[in-house]
Amino acid sequence: MSEQYEYVPHRLLRERVRDIASGVEGELMAVVNENVSASVVHEHWVELAYIRGPSGREITTAVGNIEAVG
């Protein structure tokens, strides 16, 4: 079985972004290609964006859901 995740470079890292799905704004901390499958036979990988909101907690969303703020 391969690694469960790998970091992906992104042009908005450490920039202020908005998650269009939830409306949360914050700093883009990381983009990760993550294996979210429960099976070792059929892997399912997705790119997730980790956004640190104003409370300091991080949320995840699909990379396609983020946009630059300002």
Boundaries of domain holding 53: 5-68
Residue 58 carries which side chain, given as an amino acid letter? Answer: E
- The answer to whether residues 49 and 31 touch, using CB atoms and an 8 Å cutoff, is yes
- How many domains are there within the chain? 1
Question: How confident is the model over 3-50, as pLDDT tens digits?
Answer: 678 999 999 999 999 999 999 999 999 999 998 888 878 888 999 999
Cα distance between residue 34 and residue 43, in whole Å: 10
CA gap 61, 39 in Å, rounded: 22
Q: Report the C-alpha gap between 2 and 49 in whole angstroms.
A: 21
Residue 2 clears pLDDT 70, i.e. is over it: no
- Provide the whole-model pTM: 0.85
Task: Determine the longest span between alpha carbons in the chain, in angstroms.
Answer: 43
